[in-house]
Amino acid sequence: MISIIVPVYNVEKHLEKCIKSIIGQTYQNWELILINDGSSDQSGTICDEYAELDSRIRVYHQVNSGASVARNKGIELAGGKFITFIDADDWVEANYLEEVTNINPDSLTLVAYGVSYDFTDSSKDFNFIPTTDEILLHGLVCGKVWPTEVIRHNGICFNENLHLHEDHVFFYDGLKYIYKIEIISKPLYHYMHYGECSLSRRLQTSDQYFLAADLLLAYYPNDNKCNNRTIKSLCIQKFGLNQLIMGMFSALQNESMSKQRNAINKVASYKPLFLKHYHANSLKGSLISKSIEMLPKWLQWVIFKSVVTVVGKRLTHSINIR
């Protein structure tokens, strides 16, 4: 049996499409666990109505605690040999589960699907079929089927203190115990971009970004599952260094001078990795860095603040359109 875990929060507009796509699966040996995370709209009622119609659907209602708490509750309740996560505003093709059974994975195999990124403006739609290395770049928890034994035996869970990139941290934690990755080269998971979002994309506190950076950078550059240096370099930038920049940006935008000083010290502690990543193979970058270090401290700070503000705004924009 495959356990499908769906955290639900204020998605009444899209929830039924998600549930119907699961009920319509060609492979029928599944259970659907809907975790209603304190929705204030009709999402909870919709969950209950479908649970009455199909005995394979279970609903758990909790006070609003966040997606990580909801998914962890789903893991606790899951009774299947395999677990997959689907966001409540996404949907899957009818053969989503059947393709997994055709592979017949063992208890140490992760199955990953191709993903269709669907936008309100359909001209922006695209499909992503990953290679094994590229899966590291797209460590989203959705579009994958995990062996329950790996998650349970190794205590893999979502970090409930982290409110961004918690799915990537979960993915990398679990990946340490996976010995084989099977890729289904079909876009069977539809990752929806509606313009609004069930989970907030607002700017987080600097502490959140720095926690994410610490956790994500802990996997690199010593991760041995990825032999592609380009992919590994992109992972370091996307999931680590960018979080440091966002933490500094958040501190400059919204936080006290004390927090800003702490942010500067935090970013400075990663200076060797910044230099190695951005300047190791760039003579121009190295010369710019050395030139800036020769300037007065106050001018270095002005330049640094300006760069962080520009890059932070760009990163914030990219997050909002994801």
pLDDT at 72: 97
| Of the candidates 46, 21, 17, the residue with the CA atom closest to the CA atom of residue 34 | 46
**Residues contacting residue 250 through CB under 8 Å, at least 6 positions apart:** 203, 204, 205, 206, 209, 263, 312
List the pLDDT tens digit at each of the 322 positions of the chain.
Answer: 999 999 999 999 999 999 999 999 999 999 999 999 999 999 999 999 999 999 999 999 999 999 999 999 999 999 999 999 999 999 999 999 999 888 888 888 899 888 887 776 666 666 766 666 666 666 677 789 999 999 999 999 999 998 888 888 898 888 888 888 888 888 899 987 765 443 334 678 888 888 888 887 876 545 555 555 555 556 666 667 778 888 888 888 888 888 888 888 888 787 777 666 655 445 444 444 544 455 455 455 555 566 556 555 655 555 443 4
pLDDT at 225: 53
CA–CA dist 159, 173 (Å, integer)? 10
- pLDDT on residue 308: 58
Pairing of strands 126-128, 109-119: antiparallel
Name the β-bridge partners of 126.
117
Contact between 179 and 220 (Cβ < 8 Å): no
Tell me what pLDDT residue 322 has.
43
Under 8 Å between Cβ of 85 and 12: no
DSSP-derived 3-state class of residue 198: coil
> For residue 43, what are the contacts with CB-CB under 8 A and spacing of at least 6?
8, 9, 10, 11, 12, 15, 36, 88
Q: What is the pLDDT of residue 146?
A: 94
Q: Give the pLDDT of residue 292.
A: 47
The answer to whether the CB of 70 falls within 8 A of the CB of 62 is: yes
| pLDDT at residue 192, as a whole number | 77
Domains and CATH numbers, the chain: 2-193 (3.90.550.10), 206-320 (no CATH)
- pTM (predicted TM-score): 0.79
> How many other CB atoms are found less than 10 A from the CB of residue 144?
21
Rounded to the nearest 5°, which phi and psi values hold at 166? -65, -30
